[in-house]
């Protein structure tokens, strides 16, 4: 009986978070239109570096999808502490739901929001730009899930540290851009000397790119499980971190 009430309350909060996200045109545009434009522009501009424009689109569809997935942290921080959302969220703090549903619902809602939009993006772009997700697209889609979840959990985790959406978004955006440049999301550093190639290999984004390229271009599952398990473990640790750091008084 008690469990039923707790689940119902959690679902109620989760549903509200999802509604709020899907009513935010900026976040929807950022995750779909802007991402698609970025892939098209980068593919078109850098097509000279590839055998043909199809290969360029293949590269940027995958690498910029990883870039977009990591942007889920910004979605999550917005969903958690954006000024207009924070005030009504305060009522959740006042209610008898406990603190876990408050931040976990935001993580889950941001994950569902970003994951579904990115799947939609790939469903539209793949036939249009002749991008392939490999012989087993289900694995590609499945591997996206823990990455999206890590990003969402990271956004909430940093909000729990800084208690501020603007600071969290600015910091995570800067770190993401840096890691993505190093990881070759915008242009590969592999052919730019051994030092840059080494620096590139230090970026986790490079590992993610390699895993998704292995799936889409080589039909190889060699990196699937390490990335899947690694991201799942990090997700669990981040949720645990939120549990330790989240204090209701930081929200008021």
Partner 1 sequence: MENLMTVKNLTKSFKENKVLNGISFDVRTGEVLCILGPNGAGKTTTINILTAALGSDGGEICFKGAKIGRHLRAYKQVLGIVPQDVALYDELSAERNLRFFASLYGLHGDVLTNAVNEALVFAGLDDRRHEKVKTFSGGMKRRLNIACAIAHHPELVIMDEPTVGIDPQSRNHILDSIKKLRDNGMTIIYTTHYMEEVETISSRIIIMDHGAIIAEGTKESLKEDIENEKRYIIQVEENGKIAAEQFYSIEGVKSVKINGDAIEITSLKGIENLDRIIGLLSDCGERILNITSEAASLEMVFLKLTGRKLRD
Beta carbon of residue 9, minimum distance to partner 1 (angstroms, whole number):
6
Beta carbon of residue 116, minimum distance to partner 1 (angstroms, whole number):
19
Beta carbon of residue 93, minimum distance to partner 1 (angstroms, whole number):
6
Q: How far is CA 23 from CA 18, 107, 135, 228, in A?
A: 9, 17, 35, 31
**Crossing angle between the packed helical segments 100-129 and 72-81, to the nearest 10 degrees:** 140
Contact 204, 183 (CB under 8 A): yes
3-state secondary structure (DSSP) of residue 208: helix
Between 5 and 33, CB nearer to partner 1:
5
Is residue 195 a contact point for partner 1 (CB under 8 A)?
no
Contacts (CB under 8 A) with partner 1, residues 98-117: 98
Is residue 1 a contact point for partner 1 (CB under 8 A)?
no
Q: How far is CA 38 from CA 207, 214, 216, 223, in A?
A: 21, 22, 20, 26
Among 3, 48, 51, 87, binds partner 1 (CB under 8 A): 87
Q: Per the structure block, which two tokens stand in for 168?
A: 């969290």
Count CB-CB contacts under 10 A for residue 214: 17
Between 49 and 95, CB nearer to partner 1:
95
Is residue 252 a contact point for partner 1 (CB under 8 A)?
yes
Is residue 48 a contact point for partner 1 (CB under 8 A)?
no
Between 22 and 186, CB nearer to partner 1:
22
Is residue 9 a contact point for partner 1 (CB under 8 A)?
yes
Among 7, 37, 45, 93, binds partner 1 (CB under 8 A): 93
Q: What distance in Å separates the CA atoms of residue 112 and residue 191, rounded to the nearest whole number?
A: 37
Is residue 249 a contact point for partner 1 (CB under 8 A)?
yes
Burial class of residue 72, CB neighbours in 10 A (0-12, 13-18, 19+): buried
**How many chain residues bind partner 1 (CB under 8 A)?**
26
Query: Which stretch of DSSP H or E encloses residue 231?
Result: helix 224-245
Among 3, 23, 51, 191, binds partner 1 (CB under 8 A): 23
Among 91, 127, 138, 194, binds partner 1 (CB under 8 A): 91
Contact 69, 144 (CB under 8 A): yes
Contacts (CB under 8 A) with partner 1, residues 208-237: none
Among 13, 70, 152, 180, binds partner 1 (CB under 8 A): 13
Beta carbon of residue 35, minimum distance to partner 1 (angstroms, whole number):
23
Q: How far is CA 70 from CA 4, 11, 66, 74, 190, in A?
A: 34, 25, 6, 8, 22
| End-to-end C-alpha distance for the chain, whole angstroms | 31
Residues near partner 1 (CB under 8 A) are 5, 8-9, 12-13, 16, 19-20, 23, 84-85, 87-88, 90-98, 248-249, 251-252
């Amino acid at each position: 009986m008690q469990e039923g009430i707790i689940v119902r309350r959690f679902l109620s909060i989760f549903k509200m978070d999802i509604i709020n996200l899907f009513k935010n045109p900026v976040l929807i545009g950022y995750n779909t239109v802007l991402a698609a434009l970025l892939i098209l522009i980068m593919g078109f501009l850098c097509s000279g570096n590839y055998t043909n424009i199809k290969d360029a689109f293949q590269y940027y569809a995958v690498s910029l999808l990883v870039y977009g997935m990591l942007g889920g942290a910004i979605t999550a921080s917005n969903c958690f502490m954006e000024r207009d959302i924070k005030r009504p969220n305060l009522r959740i703090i006042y209610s008898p739901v406990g603190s876990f549903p408050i931040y976990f619902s935001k993580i889950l809602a941001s994950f569902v929001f970003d994951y579904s939009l990115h799947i939609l993006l790939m469903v539209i772009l793949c036939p249009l730009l002749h991008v392939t997700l490999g012989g087993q697209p289900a694995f590609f889609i499945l591997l996206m899930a823990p990455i999206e979840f890590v990003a969402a959990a990271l956004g909430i985790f940093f909000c729990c540290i800084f208690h501020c959406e603007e600071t969290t978004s600015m910091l995570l955006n800067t770190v993401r851009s840096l890691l993505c440049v190093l990881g070759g999301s915008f242009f590969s550093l592999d052919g730019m000397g051994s030092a840059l190639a080494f620096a590139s290999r230090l970026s986790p984004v490079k590992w993610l790119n390699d895993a998704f390229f292995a799936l889409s271009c080589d039909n190889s599952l060699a990196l699937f499980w390490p990335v899947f398990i690694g991201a799942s473990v990090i997700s669990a640790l981040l949720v645990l971190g939120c549990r330790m750091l989240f204090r209701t008084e930081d929200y008021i």
